[in-house]
Amino acid sequence: MSQSDFEVIRRVLHGETAAFELLVRRYQQTILRLTQRMTRNVEDAEDLAQDAFVQAYRSLASFHGQSSFSTWLYRIAVNLCLNHRRATRREDPMEVNGNVPDAREDSLARLLAAERDRALAAAIEELPPQQRATLTLRVYQGLGHREIAEILDCAEGTAKANYFHAIRTLHRKLDARRSSD
Partner 1 sequence: MKSCEGIRDRLMDLIEGELTAGEHQRLEAHLAQCPECCREARALRETLARLRSLPEPAVPDGFLDGFSAAVQRRISAETPPRVVLWRRVAAWLSGRSSLRPVPALSAAAVLGLLLVIGLVRTPRAPQPSPVPEVLVVGETLSIAQNLDVLEQFDILEDLDLLEQLPLLQAPENGRPPKMG
Give residues in contact with partner 1 (CB under 8 A): 4, 6-7, 9-10, 12-15, 17, 20-21, 24-25, 28-29, 32-33, 36-37, 40, 42, 45-46, 49-50, 53-54, 57-66, 96-99, 116-117, 120-121, 124, 135, 139, 160, 163-164, 167-168, 170-171, 174-175
Instruction: Report in angstroms how near the CB of residue 114 gets to partner 1 at its nearest.
Output: 9
For partner 1, which is the closer residue by CB, 45 or 149?
45
For partner 1, which is the closer residue by CB, 59 or 83?
59
For partner 1, which is the closer residue by CB, 127 or 151?
127
Locate all alpha helices (DSSP H) within the chain, ordered by sequence: 5-13, 20-39, 42-58, 69-87, 108-125, 129-135, 145-152, 156-180
Q: Residue 166 and residue 134: Cα distance in Å, rounded?
A: 8
For partner 1, which is the closer residue by CB, 121 or 154?
121
Residue 5, CA atoms < 13 Å, CB-side half-sphere = 18
Q: Residue 1 and residue 96: Cα distance in Å, rounded?
A: 39
Amino acid identity at 177: R
Q: What is the dihedral of CA 56, 58, 61, 65, to 10 degrees?
A: -10
For partner 1, which is the closer residue by CB, 41 or 151?
41
Instruction: Report in angstroms how near the CB of residue 104 gets to partner 1 at its nearest.
Output: 20
Instruction: Report in angstroms how near the CB of residue 135 gets to partner 1 at its nearest.
Output: 7
Q: Residue 18 and residue 26: Cα distance in Å, rounded?
A: 14
